[in-house]
Amino acid sequence: MQSQVLLSLVVPFYNAADYLDQLLMSVETQLTAQVQLVLVCDGATDSSLAVAQRHIARSVWPECYMLLSQLNSGVSVARNLGIAHSTGRYVGFVDADDLLLPGYITQVLRVISGHQPDLIEIGFKRFNDISQLPTVKPRYLQHKAGYHQVKHVAPAVFQSNRWFPWLRVYRKAMAPDFRFEPGVAYCEDVMAIPKLYQQAATLYHLRQPLYGYRDHAASASYNVTPGQLQQLQQFYTSLRQAQCYTALPTQCRNLLLLNLVYLFYSLQLNNTLQISLTPSLQQDVRALLLQQCFTAGFSARKKWQLARYFFRHRAQPAVVA
């Protein structure tokens, strides 16, 4: 691998042959010797691995690529493998079905060289088809670009509840032990990314759309299993009892809890699998809503929706696979 790597981008992939080449081309056109692309094949059974191998063989920057392979173990384990093999001072994440928009690498390297923050946030565009990108409205985590103290801007991040790993780049020395929870395939980002805001002191927000997020029906957010919901309930309980994220400011913890409750609510409304929360968790959610009814940064509309739902469904039985 080349020396003086400033940025490592970790790309896990599983059966992504339909999109992987588009992603790799969006990266290839921006590559420099200061960037490392760590591709992790998570036991793909389609032609994804061949697509990656063919791209590297044709690249004008083959030394910038590292290709790893593992038995199918899930996206969290794949990302962790990529982190462990990354050599850059900063680490970012890219999903195999997405795109880097023009300027991503240039702008991120500029911030790394000029400011050395603990975290770098970027803007993004959400799309179904590439042809939509020029007209899609960009989205951001912060209203103000530039250098910030994390303690001043973290509440806005927790309020937005956007924990996509690809939305930020982190300084590896700031969080040398950062990992995703193995065996978690749904909301693994919620269970990991807040750790970065808990440890970081400084942040640079690039208020530019530098990432293209492909929204399609195969996304994990559309395919929740009872087992995944059970993992999420366990995380909620751990967070509620301050067994994890122990150093989070109170406001950030409460916002994270309320957004988890809103996710439970949304899943109940789309309950095609007849998934239900445990009775004890339903009771705890009602207590939380009473305690946090005046929490700043969480919309009154959502609080009202949650209160109406959970106080009307006291007798809802639990169904856990």
Q: Which amino acid is at 157?
A: V
* Separation CA 202–CA 217 (nearest Å): 36
Q: Are 74 and 182 in contact (CB under 8 A)?
A: yes
Residues 69-98 as b or e (16 or more Cβ within 10 Å = b): eeeebbbbbbbbbbbeebebbbbbbbbbbb
Q: Which of 140, 107, 154 is nearest to 207 (CA)?
A: 140
256-265: average pLDDT: 92
CA atoms within 13 A on the CB side of 192: 25
Residues 29-56 as b or e (16 or more Cβ within 10 Å = b): ebbeebbbbbbbbbebeeebbebbeebb
Q: Assign 316 a pLDDT band (cuts: 50, 70, 90).
A: very low
CB atoms within 10 A of CB 145: 14
Q: Assign 1 a pLDDT band (cuts: 50, 70, 90).
A: very low
Q: Are 148 and 156 in contact (CB under 8 A)?
A: no
Higher pLDDT, 321 or 161: 161
Alpha carbon of residue 207 to chain centroid: 18
Least confident of 50-59, 226-235, 307-316: 307-316
* Separation CA 291–CA 32 (nearest Å): 51
Supply the pTM of this predicted model: 0.91
pLDDT, one tens digit per residue, over 117-174 is 999 999 999 999 999 999 999 999 999 999 999 999 999 999 999 999 999 999 999 9
